[in-house]
Amino acid sequence: MAIVIPARGSTPIKGLRTDDLSWEDFLGRADRTTAGIYTAVEQPAYQFSNILFSSGTTGEPKAIPWTHLTPLKAAADGWCHMDIRKGDVVAWPTNLGWMMGPWLVYASLLNGASMALYNGSPNSSGFAKFVQDAKVTMLGVVPSIVRTWKNTDCTAGFDWSNIRCFSSTGEASSVDDYLWLMGRACYKPVIEYCGGTEIGGGFITGSLLQPQALSAFSTPAMGCNLFILDSNGNPLPHDSAGIGELALDPTLFGSSTTLLNADHHEVYFSGMPEWNAKVLRRHGDEFERTADGYYRAHGRADDTMNLGGIKVSSIEIERICNRVNDAILETAAIGVPPVGGGPEQLTIAVVFKDQSPQAEDLNQLKLMFNSALKKLNPLFKVSSVVVVPSLPRTASNKVMRRVLRKEFTQAKHSKI
């Protein structure tokens, strides 16, 4: 069955199939609806309620069914960590193809809040005015949107004082950008939120009941137990600082139990260590637990590079490179294998705010990158700088570094 919207204004729609409805007739049915017309249908908890595809950051997108438990997970996260409650107005630029689309539906409506839906690009003063006029109380963001707001100043002059908190997901955020974001709403906190389509929400986040640190997480999500694995694949003690691949306790309410186009056990459990007689669940992100008890994301574990025998994440390098020059919009750090084999060579893909610079400017930029990276490690050295019009991203706004890696590697081979 399809609900068909006319292409131009209120032009009558012709040629509808028997079970189809025009938009006008659909609205007419809503006007005649009475409170008792719909009857709930009892279903098992694990009956599918939705099917989403993963972002495809690391390869072929996975078809992930959500069950009737997943909406409860989304609503619980919104209630517990973003304090979404009756009377709130929740906005989060997203779409129904990304998990944050259905998440927004469940996290707002099941908690008695309203959704604020904007038809258009969030990278505009129109959206900023919409947030003001809708009196949004919880505004969800992704870091690249915030970076654009800051660079274009398109939120200037609008009153966001109704916002009680922000929340951020999708990619690693910048301390400078998020301090600026807090300033748009009288320095209300930003609740970082990290999870996955297969989780139905978050596994690590922040809380309004704890002191928050910019671009950091303060707690596992409610009902979640997480582990950081050492270089041997063993879980670190929960109270110790360290960095490594993140793994999850498999007893996680609302998370996936099957895939429609892949082996669920092979993807998430095969080869993982045990803890308390349970095989831990793989996630694939690299996380750091700091000495003061916060967590920081370092991107996908497969987005790490080996530079001079030292393992480093792309995120760490990009955070430094993004701040080298005001003309830079964003960067991506890629480890490219040399043609004849050997250690990976560091290539920085650069997106500029305006037109591309001259070749001599790129040479100067390379020197600036190398100078800044010495603070991270004196052995790190940028091999080349490549200007790109934009970074390849998934539907959920994650940078696909594997696409750039493949492109740069092929370019090197073609020059032989």
175-183 and 143-152 are packed helices; what angle lies between their axes, rounded to 10 degrees? 70
pLDDT of residue 342: 57
The CA distance from 198 to 219, in Å, is 20
Query: In the predicted model, what is the mean pLDDT of residues 97-118?
Result: 95
Other beta carbons less than 10 A from residue 5's beta carbon: 10
Establish if 43 belongs to a structural domain.
Answer: no
Residues 314 and 380 in one domain: yes
Residues 240 and 157 in one domain: yes
Residues 58 and 7 in one domain: no
Residues 54 and 196 in one domain: yes
Residues 287 and 314 in one domain: no
Q: What is the pLDDT of residues 259-291, one digit of tens each?
A: 999 999 998 999 899 999 999 999 888 899 999
Boundary (domain end) residue, out of 252, 270, 299: 299
Q: What contacts 223, CB < 8 A, 6 or more positions away?
A: 76, 252, 253
Q: Quick check: 306 pLDDT over 70?
A: no
Residues 322 and 259 in one domain: no
Residues 228 and 342 in one domain: no
Q: What is the pLDDT of residues 209-263, one digit of tens each?
A: 999 999 999 999 999 999 999 878 889 998 899 988 899 999 999 999 999 999 9
pLDDT of residue 239: 85
Nearest to 107 by CA among 128, 83, 130: 83
Residues 178 and 77 in one domain: yes
Q: Is 275 helix (H, G, I), strand (E, B) or coil?
A: strand
Residues 131 and 260 in one domain: yes
Query: In the predicted model, what is the mean pLDDT of residues 148-174?
Result: 93
Domain holding 317: CATH number? 3.30.300.30
Q: Which residue range forms the structural domain that includes residue 335?
A: 308-414
Establish if 38 belongs to a structural domain.
Answer: no
pLDDT of residue 193: 96
Other beta carbons less than 10 A from residue 56's beta carbon: 15
Residues 251 and 353 in one domain: no
- Count of structural domains, the chain: 3
Nearest to 193 by CA among 185, 177, 204: 204
Q: What is the pLDDT of residues 342-363, one digit of tens each?
A: 567 899 999 998 866 666 588 8
Contact 77, 201 (CB under 8 A): yes
Establish if 241 belongs to a structural domain.
Answer: yes
The strand order across the sheet containing 190-196 reads 114-115, 89-91, 138-141, 165-168, 190-196, 201-205, 219-220
The CA distance from 323 to 350, in Å, is 12
Residues 318 and 408 in one domain: yes
The CA distance from 195 to 283, in Å, is 9
Establish if 37 belongs to a structural domain.
Answer: no
Establish if 144 belongs to a structural domain.
Answer: yes
Establish if 242 belongs to a structural domain.
Answer: yes
Establish if 40 belongs to a structural domain.
Answer: no
pLDDT of residue 40: 81
Domain holding 263: CATH number? 3.40.50.12780
Establish if 263 belongs to a structural domain.
Answer: yes
Give kind and range of the element (H or E) at residue 384. strand 382-387
pTM for the structure as a whole: 0.75
What one-character DSSP code corresponds to residue 133? H
Boundary (domain end) residue, out of 279, 299, 319: 299
Q: What contacts 201, CB < 8 A, 6 or more positions away?
A: 70, 73, 74, 76, 77, 103, 195, 221, 254
Give kind and range of the element (H or E) at residue 355. none
Confidence at 109, pLDDT banded by 50, 70, 90: very high
Residues 380 and 283 in one domain: no
Residue 112, phi-psi category: left (phi > 0), alpha (psi -120 to 50), beta (remainder):
left
Lowest-confidence range among 13-22, 64-73, 99-108, 239-248? Answer: 13-22
The CA distance from 218 to 296, in Å, is 9
Boundary (domain end) residue, out of 299, 323, 349: 299
